[in-house]
Every structure is written in structure tokens, then in C-alpha cells.
Amino acid sequence: QVQLQESGPGLVKPSETLSLTCSVSGGSMSDSYWSWIRQSPGKGLEWIGYMYDSGGANYNPSLESRVTISVGTSKNQVSLRLTSVTAADTAVYYCARESCSTASCQHYYMDVWGKGTTVTVSS
């Protein structure tokens, strides 16, 4: 079965770039969307965006100017890049697979989640 593992630096300085990787094992990356979601005590669960296997992406407008989700350096990886971070970006970051829930893929659900990785923004 598919498993996801997030990795990356746990501490990032303000104004720098946060880079995380989601490693996908046990299955193919095709036919799915790949999402990033974060969770901070102040804001609950926040959807960051997703990429799909044709290379396109859809981002939360609140982060769109700073975020990039793309295939990682390895074919079985999804990367998240968030620029110009501030303390408000401190959170647990999760990656999740979005799978098609209907025959014609009119809806996707997040059926596999990674364990999450904690990122603190601080000097």
C-alpha cells in the first residue's frame, strides 16, 4: 500500500525558503493528485495546494505568490517550496494523496497522508 514520508529541515530562518520533500513508496504517482496541507495551532488545517501528474498545480490564493509544488528530484517524490517565510509559516506540514472517488473522477479525496513534519520559522 502507498506510504508517504515528509522530510526537510525542521528550522528555517525568517525570509528564507522552506523546502520539503514527500517520498512516495508502495505505489505509482500517476492518476492521483498530490497535496500539501499544514496545521498550526492558530489556524487549524490549511490546504496549501496540489499538483497532478501532468505537471499542473493548484494553489491556495493566500499562498500562491510564495508556493511551488512539483515533482521532486526523484520520480517518486513531491516537493514543496515556500519562499519568504515568517513565523506565521510555523506548522506541521503534511503531504497527502488525492484519489479519484467517482468513475469519471469528478471528485478526489485525501485517502493517504504522511505522518507530517514540523517546521519552525525562527532566527
Contact residues toward another protein (CB under 8 A) are 37, 44-47, 49, 58-62, 94, 101-102, 106-111, 113-116
At which residue does the C-alpha cell 523546502 appear?
19
Pick the closer one to another protein by CB: 62 or 70: 62
**Residue 107 has what DSSP assignment?**
-
Rounded alpha-carbon distances, angstroms, from residue 28 to 45, 46, 67, 75: 26, 26, 24, 10
Pick the closer one to another protein by CB: 13 or 107: 107
- CB of 123 vs another protein, minimal distance in Å: 29
d(C-alpha 36, C-alpha 42), whole Å: 18
Pick the closer one to another protein by CB: 16 or 47: 47
